[in-house]
Homo-oligomer: A and B are copies of this chain.
Amino acid sequence: MLALEKIGSFFVGGRRVRVSGKTKRTVAYSSNVVTEYDPNGSFLIEQAYVQYFLPHEHRFRTPVLLVHGGGLTGVQWENTPDGRPGWLSHLLDARIAVYVIDNVERGRAGWCAIEGEWPDLPVVRSDEEAARFYRFGFPGNQFPLDRMDQLSAQTVPRWPSTYPLQVAALDAAVDRIGSAILIGFSQGGGLSFIVADRRRDGVKACIGLEPHGLPTAYAPDMPGTPALMVLGDYIAEDDYWRDMARLGRDSMDAWTAAGGRAEVWDLPALGQRGNTHMMMMDRNSDILCGMLIEWLDRHHRAGDFD
């Protein structure tokens, strides 16, 4: 049983735009609702959505903020493609407060359909690109390939140009929550470390799951903030991921040089083999979440956060 104090959601960030001079058109919303649509007026764009789940009793006070990857939404923390409970459920079972962001233009954050506001075109990941990029081709990998459709279903379009907006919205989310442990995946991992560097009072620990777009340097005098980078299997066998892992290790060194305490987990070296990029969906996802909770417990006991 899950004993929660409350669930809810809020939006952060966004800016108002005013559209004028566009032509009205007739739109049929259903068989008997046909009205004139006016594309002019005032709109809010570039906000992010945050859904939260607050437990009745706390393992520790500081909540976790889960930051999805590019082309994905907060759904990636819910049930795994093969229908098992996801990390969101496991964290709640462990009595940890969880906030889940749908960042700018992903999922429930909505996106900007106003022509000309964003300079580029959206991109969307095909199953073939996903299989390649997520390292599903290696024998023995733990992703449930027979349920690939459930990963396709949660894949959404993305605009590469919104990266700075996503940084700003994540920053605003941390500001609103007050203090948090960031767990960011892929693009969300890079965003998490950028925001952790900016919001030193707010971010008490930062975990990057095969993070992308990490800073190469951090401002000095970081107050010993713990950080963790988690790498799955087959990294050495994949040119692209070998480069990403090297950039990641350099970034973790820079974090420590700035006054933080960064650690890198090479999952195969820790006995967890077969992990793809989508480690929260892999067959051993429960074990991995348990390892992360242990890491958090250790830092909580050490007084790194309340």
Contact = CB atoms under 8 A, between A and B. Distances in A.
A44 B163 CA distance: 25
B108 A30 contact: no
A45 to B, nearest CB: 9
Contacts of A47: 153
Tell me if A's interface is mostly helix, strand, loop or mixed.
mixed
Given A3-B3, A51-B78, A78-B51, A29 B150 contact: no
Number of this chain's copies in the assembly equals 2
Contacts of A150: 10-11
Nearest to A47: B153
Interface stretch (A123-131, A135-143, A196-204, A277-285): A123-131
Contact of A122 (B113, B123, B149, B160): B113
A91 B40 CA distance: 37
Interface stretch (A69-77, A219-227, A228-236, A258-266): A69-77
A37 interface: yes
Given A19-B126, A29-B213, A152 B43 contact: yes
Contact of A8 (B14, B89, B110): B89
A70 B37 CA distance: 13
A212 interface: yes
A28 interface: yes
Which among A39, A108, A124 has the greatest number of chain B C-beta atoms within 10 A? A108
A2 B1 contact: no
Contacts of A42: 126-128, 152
A63 interface: no
A257 interface: no
Contacts of A6: 2, 85, 89
Nearest to A149: B44
A7 interface: yes
A39 B121 CA distance: 11
A146 interface: no
Contacts of A128: 38, 41-42
Contacts of A163: 29-30
Contacts of A11: 150, 153-154
A145 interface: no
Contacts of A73: 108, 110
20 contacts: A1-B3, A2-B56, A7-B53, A7-B78, A11-B153, A27-B123, A29-B70, A29-B213, A32-B213, A33-B213, A42-B128, A43-B152, A43-B155, A44-B155, A73-B110, A75-B108, A107-B110, A110-B153, A111-B156, A111-B157
